[in-house]
Structure 1
Amino acid sequence: MMGYLNPLLRLPAARNLLRLPPEQRKAMVLVLRQLRDQANTEAEQAWRRRKGPMAAYWRAVSTYARHLAHALEQTDIDAAIAKGEE
């Protein structure tokens, strides 16, 4: 079993994102950070409206966006992929 600091890196598709050219990864990071901020705002609004399931949904969107952005910022792609392998 592989253990990663970022659980999304267990997925082949996520690892493929790390192989994109740096300029494409940087653009994706910017969009994902915006998505994270907007999803957090939606989560807070849903929580204030007592819409717990929607608040949880938006929190999950925010978390996945953050994890993907962090993964895309890795500079040593091979080390990021291999990190934590047993």
Structure 2
Amino acid sequence: MGYINPLLQLSSGKALQDLPPEDRARIRAVLVDLRRQANDLAEEAWRRRKGPMAAYWRAVATYARHLAHALRPKTKDPHG
């Protein structure tokens, strides 16, 4: 992803990574779809000159992205 996910600094964010892989995959799928829908709503709000709603929906999309990335399948550490 190219940056440190700020949600993983929270105990709740770390707890997401301890969920069973099947649960993580289902939740991640919902969050990916939420991100897409929120981005669409942000664009629509921006077109309608509704800046505060555009900012709100963009923030929802950002949080959904961070959460979805936290739920990605765990990778094996090549160093050990």
Runs of at least 5 residues in structure 1 that lack an aligned partner in the other structure: 80-86
Aligned residue for 1:5, secondary structure, equals: coil
Q: Give the root-mean-square deviation of aligned CA atoms.
A: 1.7
Paired position in structure 1 for 2:43: 44
Which AA in structure 1 matches 2:62?
T
Following superposition, the deviation at residue 76 of structure 1 comes to 4.4
Q: Mapping of 1:1-86 within 5 angstroms?
A: 5-76=4-75
Following superposition, the deviation at residue 14 of structure 1 comes to 1.0
TM-score scaled by length of structure 1 = 0.81
What is the aligned residue count?
75
Structure 2: how far apart are the matches of 1:10 and 1:57?
23
Runs of at least 5 residues in structure 2 that lack an aligned partner in the other structure: none
Q: Does the Cα contact within 8 Å between 2:16 and 2:71 map onto a contact in 1?
A: yes
Deviation string, structure 1 residues 29-86 (Cα, Å, up to 9, x no partner): 1000000000001000100110101100100100110111111104049x7xxxxxxx
Which AA in structure 2 matches 1:53?
P
Structure 1: how far apart are the matches of 2:68 and 2:9?
15
TM-score scaled by length of structure 2 = 0.86
